[in-house]
Structure 1
Amino acid sequence: MANVNTAAPARSLTPAEIAALALSLAHLGAGPQAATARLGLRHALENLDLDDDVVAATLDTLTTPLPAEVASRARVIADAITGKLVVRLHYRDASGHITVRDVDPVTCLVHREYWYLVGMCRLRRDIRAFRFDRILAVEPTTIPARPHPAERFLPFQRRRARAAA
């Protein structure tokens, strides 16, 4: 009798799955389990049809451990996303100005060599991306975050073509 493979066909990870896996790995540190998990993520992402320099740099960032102090802030951010709670960021922008902002966290993503928190900034009343390396401190709050669908803000998405008018 022939051995028939009845396994389900492989499928690509969704953008939401990629973001969740990457954020989960971001704060694991540099131990052996974290290294194995990052290698697994690298293998999972190798099959995406995104062969360019931006993707290569992004994959390197996804699979490199964060510095300890940044990983600690990533844990607070991940907990806030999971708990659907506002976080208070002490943030230094590209010009060096420091602000304190309450943010409804939506998701985290990586682009090239930087990690970002994407969220609804209550100060600016708009979606903003906050580079992890510019977040000086992050404080958890007990304020419920308003829902914002992450799918609108994730990388690796195929954009739907507009219907012809």
Structure 2
Amino acid sequence: MANVMKPARSPLTTAEIAALALSLAHLGSDPQATAARSGLRHAFEHMEIGDEVVSTTLATLTEPMPAAVADRARTIANAITSHLVVRLHYRDVSGRVTVRDVDPVTCMVHRDYWYLVGMCRLRGAIRAFRFDRIVATEPTFIPARPHRAGDFLPFQGRRAVQQGHEAA
């Protein structure tokens, strides 16, 4: 198989990287998933990584998830794609489990952890839910309210705000 080189384009957005990585992470460790994660790592080779946090985050993006977490991640990914609310059974840092309906917006990785970012209907606010603290997920048929991923990710939100001020 020949390698195909295309002219350089703008880099992937954070939301695009998260979507690709989430799709790959919950596939497990079969040969196709392993090859796909290798391709994602190859894409990262062209990025300048001078920061330990970024380096750790990229390593997490390209590792397969444990099977139980991968099952929950599939439910979350389907909810994002289908624009439906997802019901989470979530264990907070103190060990208390709550059931929350969430309008899922995107997933992201920071250092060693995957997060679901969305509008928590219980709290009425934007929240990030660590995947390893999600005890269970349930799909629903409740339509999720539309939210732009850039409004939820602090680093993208700052860029969007700065661009908005420049245009004004």
Same fold (TM over 0.5): yes
Query: Are the equivalent residues in 2 in contact too, given 1:25–1:37 (CA < 8 A)?
Result: yes
1:141 maps to a residue whose letter is: T
Greater mean alpha carbon deviation, residues 154-163 or residues 132-141:
154-163
2:81 maps to a residue whose letter is: T
Gaps of 5+ in 1: 1-5
Count of equivalent residues = 159
**Sequence identity (%):** 69
Structure 2 Cα separation of the partners of residues 122 and 50 of structure 1 = 37
Query: Are the equivalent residues in 1 in contact too, given 2:151–2:157 (CA < 8 A)?
Result: no
Structure 2 Cα separation of the partners of residues 136 and 7 of structure 1 = 43
Which structure features the higher share of helix residues? 2
TM-score w.r.t. length of structure 1: 0.88
TM-score w.r.t. length of structure 2: 0.87
Counterpart of 1:41 in 2: which secondary structure?
helix
Counterpart of 1:86 in 2: which secondary structure?
strand
Aligned-residue CA RMSD (Å): 2.1
After superposition, what is the alpha-carbon deviation per residue over 1:41-87, rounded to whole angstroms, capped at 9, x for unaligned? 11112222342000111111111110000000000000000000001
Structure 1 Cα separation of the partners of residues 96 and 147 of structure 2 = 27
Shift of 1:33: 0.9
Is 1:45 the equivalent of 2:38? no
Greater mean alpha carbon deviation, residues 14-23 or residues 97-106:
14-23
Query: Are the equivalent residues in 2 in contact too, given 1:70–1:133 (CA < 8 A)?
Result: yes
Counterpart of 2:35 in 1: which secondary structure?
helix
Structure 2 Cα separation of the partners of residues 99 and 157 of structure 1 = 29
